[in-house]
């Protein structure tokens, strides 16, 4: 049974978010939360409770990195022990930056080069590209779909991971293009991304609006392939085609991709807001546009 909610949460503020030089002496997977990060994680658990119904059960999948596990530990304190399950998932780990990071000048050069080249395709020396991470997220989603076949799968899925992983997860799920991914800003620490299932169609709609670096015109841009390997793309007239089958697309504010199955299969709905803006901290929970109220804005890792 597919869960009614899929919630992605970035870890709380880590030592590296405060002092990036720690990457030179401490392995990435051993970097801890700061005191602020612990507070964020506790608040995230309380915030998660607001979305749970009395009958809900929760399945946590958590990155094995210490900061993510600590985030989960503090979040879970807000929940009754009998209503959640936990699984540590290595495929949810942070992008590999090649063991210990180099001197500041070298890392500055790499980050500048990466920003110019593009976060998705740029391969960090001795590490991973965003595309590499996308591939392991794809296999993780295949695992999820098999798990959903169980009638006893919990009604809420919570994934505690990292900023890049969260964006790539959504990109893969909704078949977004590389250009779309590159336009999105990173999540802040302990920010939520909410995907809600439509009980009639059994498909998910992304309820969270991502902050963008800028409004990107994307006429004719290519999207990624769907699960069957079919190329999808947007044409300049605003039609979305899939091997000769089309779906309507609205480029106006609040426009959405239609949620019909294109090939008559169980393909996922990519219904979402096109010109999405920043996540508002003051919006009501019912609006489903989420953000944890953090005391500090953390730097992206």
Q: Residues within the annotated binding site?
A: 10-17, 67, 105
Measured distance CA(152)–CA(154) in Å, rounded: 6
Tokens of 287: 């609006």
Q: Which H/E stretch holds residue 86?
A: strand 84-88
Measured distance CA(50)–CA(124) in Å, rounded: 39
Cβ neighbours for 172, distance < 8 A, ≥ 6 positions apart: 134, 137, 138, 141, 224
Residue 209 in contact with residue 289, Cβ under 8 Å? yes
Q: Binding site for substrate: what residues are annotated?
A: 10-17, 67, 105
204 forms bridges with which residues in the sheet?
197
Q: Which is the catalytic residue, given 43, 94, 180, 290?
A: 94
Largest CA distance in the chain: 54
Tokens of 175: 């078949």
Neighbours of 131 (CB within 10 A): 15
Residue 169 in contact with residue 204, Cβ under 8 Å? no
Residue for token digits 């540590």?
88
217 is catalytic: no
11 is catalytic: yes
61 forms bridges with which residues in the sheet?
87, 159
Neighbours of 146 (CB within 10 A): 9
Tell me which residues are annotated as active site: 11, 94
């Amino acid at each position: 049974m597919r869960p009614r909610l899929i919630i992605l949460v970035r870890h709380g503020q880590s030592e590296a978010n405060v002092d990036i030089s720690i990457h030179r002496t401490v392995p990435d997977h051993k970097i801890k939360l700061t005191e602020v990060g612990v507070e964020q994680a506790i608040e995230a658990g309380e915030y998660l409770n607001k979305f749970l119904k009395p009958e809900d059960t929760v399945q946590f999948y958590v990155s094995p990195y210490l900061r993510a596990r600590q985030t989960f530990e503090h979040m879970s304190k807000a929940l009754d022990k009998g209503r959640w399950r936990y699984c540590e998932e290595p495929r949810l780990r942070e992008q590999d930056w090649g063991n210990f990071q180099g001197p500041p000048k070298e890392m500055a050069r790499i980050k500048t080069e990466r920003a110019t080249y593009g976060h998705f395709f740029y391969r960090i020396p001795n590490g991973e590209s965003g595309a590499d991470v996308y591939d392991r997220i794809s296999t993780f989603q295949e695992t999820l779909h098999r798990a959903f076949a169980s009638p006893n799968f919990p009604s809420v899925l919570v994934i505690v991971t990292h900023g890049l992983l969260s964006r790539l997860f959504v990109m893969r799920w909704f078949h977004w293009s590389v250009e779309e991914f590159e336009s999105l800003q990173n999540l802040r620490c302990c920010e939520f991304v909410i995907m809600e299932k439509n009980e009639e169609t059994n498909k998910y709609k992304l309820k969270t609006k991502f902050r963008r670096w800028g409004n990107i015109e994307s006429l004719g841009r290519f999207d990624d392939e769907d699960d069957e390997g079919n190329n999808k793309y947007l044409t300049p007239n605003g039609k979305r085609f899939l091997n000769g089958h089309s779906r309507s697309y609205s480029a106006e504010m609040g426009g959405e991709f239609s949620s019909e199955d294109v090939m008559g299969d169980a393909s996922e709905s990519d219904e979402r807001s096109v010109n999405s803006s920043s996540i508002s901290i003051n919006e009501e929970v019912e609006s489903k546009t989420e953000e944890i109220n953090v005391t500090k804005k953390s730097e992206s890792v």
